[in-house]
Structures are given as structure tokens and as C-alpha cells.
Structure 1
Amino acid sequence: MGATARSRRHMVNLNQIVAVVDDDESVCRAIKRLLHSVGIAAETFSSGGEFLDTLAAIPSYRPACVILDVQMPGISGLEVQRQLAPTGLPVIVITAHDELSTRQTALASGAVAYLRKPLNGAILIKAVEMAIGGTLRP
């Protein structure tokens, strides 16, 4: 085994892509940069509808987890989460408007984490590690 193969074991599996669904482009960019800084690939979607359409159109597309904003135009994050439930995809819910009923609904529906914006980068990374099974540890 060469040096490259050895060091690759300490990296995330590149097939593990995190889907970031948020209508705020700056939030998408910031999360994508943050995840990239720790070796996690991310794809961004500007709406729940766009993300659900991609899942429906490309059956082989299966992100390792989904970071999902609650309040978006069109389909809300909680509705996207409800539609994702049968797939077993881990979901991390993010929101700028922390309401107890929303938090309870998201967690009762199986969210791995419920995080308030502005996001704490270290906490978000921890939540993503948990969601994808801790595969980031060397």
C-alpha cells in the first residue's frame, strides 16, 4: 500500500456528499465551505422542491445526509423531512426561527440534530459526523 492509499483512509469517503437545502445562498455557500474545510463534499439546493425533484429524477443520487432549512418558500423544510422519512436519509434541521413546536416536530420526525442560525461551525460538523456514522474520525 502506497503513501497515498494510507493517507486516503483518514479522509472521508468521497462518495459521501452532504446535501444542503436552504433558500439563502450565503448560508449554502458558508456551509459548503465549512464542510469542504474538513474534507466533506457538499451540494447545495435553493429549495425543497429542487432537492426533491433531484432525488426523484436521479434514483442513484443518495446524499450521506441532508442539512435542511425549516423556512423556505414553497415546500417547507419540515414537509421535505416528512417526504424523506421513508428513505431513512439522516436529516439535520437548521433554522433562524427557533420555535418549540417546530423543534419538537423535527426531532419527533427523526432529525439527527436541530440547530439554530447563526450556526456554530464546530457543532454543525459534529452533527454531520454523527449523521454519517462518525466516518470522519481517522
Structure 2
Amino acid sequence: MKKIRTLIVDDEALARRGLELRLGRHEDIEIVGEAGNGREAFHAISALRPQLMFLDVQMPGIDGFELLRMLPAAQIPLTVFVTAYDHYAIAAFAASALDYLLKPVDDARLDESVERARSRLAARKTEDHYERLLKFIATLPGTHRSKVDGLLGDEDPRAGSKLTIKDGHRLLRIDADSIRWIDAAGDYMCIHANDETHVLRGTMQQLERRLDPHKFARIHRSAIVNLGRVKEMRPHLNGEYFLLLDSGHELKLSRSYRDKIKLLT
């Protein structure tokens, strides 16, 4: 039986323990870790690579939504929101998360969430989950939501240090050096620039043409990295590499893009 690597994130120890006990009824659920806040969850996701996450929405410091905004899209597990408040459940529906659970968690609803995770993983349909979460991230406070027509095509990527996008009726100039990485899921892209995330519709090819190829490299079909923000490169057994950024985020350099290693050495 193939196990589903599962992470529980909740600032209440009793809530984490309750979920752990109830999930223990499912033989294919393997609890690989727990986290009591968003920062712990961020590091746990990077280190443990869970496939499924039960995520409390309201936590002190970095809450559940902020955690999602911090993560590279490819690292976001299938996410079940857990909340004590109905208005957060409505937001979870808008996000098209895998599921949501209201506290106190009902056993039957928990079983439904687990079954949804099984079905999604069996069908290997996780990319659409990332895309829906990116759409949701675009609606969160602190996120700059930009539109597909925002990439101005007349820019010379070698001529300046700014990336210009259209945000509604405004032109937004992003300092290229502030960009750590860009990732994509479906028709949505996230530009992670210091503490801000700019979400826009478009293609990686469009954005790649706007960036200086001496400073930015495609490391995955859905990721571009600022070479100057890479702190460490770690090889993986399957021929891939993991890149550690100065922010603590970790990105994967896939085998298809191994020729980009020379840019990092």
C-alpha cells in the first residue's frame, strides 16, 4: 500500500493530536510531521515534501494563507483548510482547495477529505490544484494581482534593471534584483520579489523574454530563478539538483535543464 505523506499544521497542540488520532484510522496516511505555526510549516514542507497538508487558517504570525504565498508552487501539497470560522471556509471554496474542515472536525468529513486526496493523487492531477491555489493567492492581502496583458513587450531585457507589468490601470515597475524566483501553474505565474508576490496570467516564455538571461535562468518547466539569489546547490540522486535561495526557499533544477548548472558555477 502506497503511503500518503501528510503534514498537520495547527497552533493548537490538542487539535494536532486529535487530527493525528483520527487520521490513524486510515492505513495509507503517514504523518511525516507536525507544525505549530507557519514558519515551522515552511521548513517542514521544504524538508519533508508532504503530499497532503491539513492547514489551520488562523495562526499567530504567519497564518495559513501567508504560508501558501511563501511557498514555491511545486512544493504546495494538496491542501485541506481547517478552520473554526465559516467565512474562512467560504474563502477556501473560492480557492478551490482540495477540501475544508470546520472545527470541531467531523469524522465523516475527514474521511471525505482523505478520499479526495487519494483520488487526486491516484489520477496524478495535482497541477490544477496548484493553479487554483495561485488564483486564490492573488486575492490575499499583501499580494499584488496583475493581469495577463501586463508584460510590456517593448522592453530590452539587457537594457535596464526593471520589469514593467500592468496592474489594472497602473504600470508597476519591479526591481529585477528584488526577484528571487518565478513559478507557474497552468495559466498563472507568481513573481516572488522580496516580501511581495505578484500574480499574473501569462506564460513562462513571455516572462523569460523580458528577463536578462545572464541573471535569470529557467531551471524547470515551471520555474525561473534569479541566479544572484542562489546560495547553495545540492545534487540529488536522480540527477536533479536542489537550489537553496538566500530567503531559505528551495527550488528544484530538473534534469532537463542541467545545462544551466554552468551558470551557477
The Cα shift of 1:134 comes to: 6.4
Letter in 2 for 1:47: N
| 2:108 alignment partner in structure 1 | 122
| 1:6 alignment partner in structure 2 | none
Describe the shift of the 1:135–1:89 C-alpha distance in structure 2 as closer, same or farther (beyond 3 A): closer
| 2:34 alignment partner in structure 1 | 44
Q: Which runs of 5+ in 2 are unaligned?
A: 123-265
Describe the shift of the 1:82–1:135 C-alpha distance in structure 2 as closer, same or farther (beyond 3 A): closer
Letter in 2 for 1:131: A
Say whether residues 1:32 and 2:23 are aligned partners: no
CA contact (8 A) 1:18 1:66 kept: yes
TM-score (norm 2): 0.41
Distance (Å, rounded) in 2 between the aligned partners of 1:111 and 1:21: 15
- Count of residues in Structure 1 that have an aligned counterpart in Structure 2: 119
The Cα shift of 1:47 comes to: 1.0
User: By percentage of residues, which structure has more helix?
Assistant: 1
1:54-73 matched pairs, under 5 angstroms: 54-56=44-46, 58=47, 61-73=48-60
Letter in 2 for 1:96: A
Higher RCO, Cα 8 Å, sep 6+: 1
The Cα shift of 1:37 comes to: 1.9
1:90-105 matched pairs, under 5 angstroms: 90-99=78-87, 102-105=88-91
Q: Report the secondary structure of 2:49's partner residue.
A: coil
The Cα shift of 1:92 comes to: 0.3
- For residues 7-31 of structure 1, what are the alpha-carbon distances to aligned partners after superposition, in whole Å with 9 as ceiling and x for unaligned? xxxx4x23x2211100010110111
Describe the shift of the 1:84–1:127 C-alpha distance in structure 2 as closer, same or farther (beyond 3 A): farther
- For residues 78-116 of structure 1, what are the alpha-carbon distances to aligned partners after superposition, in whole Å with 9 as ceiling and x for unaligned? 1123334712521000111221xx334323333111221
CA contact (8 A) 1:85 1:109 kept: no
TM-score (norm 1): 0.74
| 1:78 alignment partner in structure 2 | 65
Say whether residues 1:108 and 2:88 are aligned partners: no
Describe the shift of the 1:119–1:85 C-alpha distance in structure 2 as closer, same or farther (beyond 3 A): farther
CA contact (8 A) 1:82 1:109 kept: no
- For residues 47-83 of structure 1, what are the alpha-carbon distances to aligned partners after superposition, in whole Å with 9 as ceiling and x for unaligned? 1110102233x2xx22121100011011111112333
Describe the shift of the 1:109–1:84 C-alpha distance in structure 2 as closer, same or farther (beyond 3 A): farther
CA contact (8 A) 1:65 1:132 kept: no
| 1:22 alignment partner in structure 2 | 10
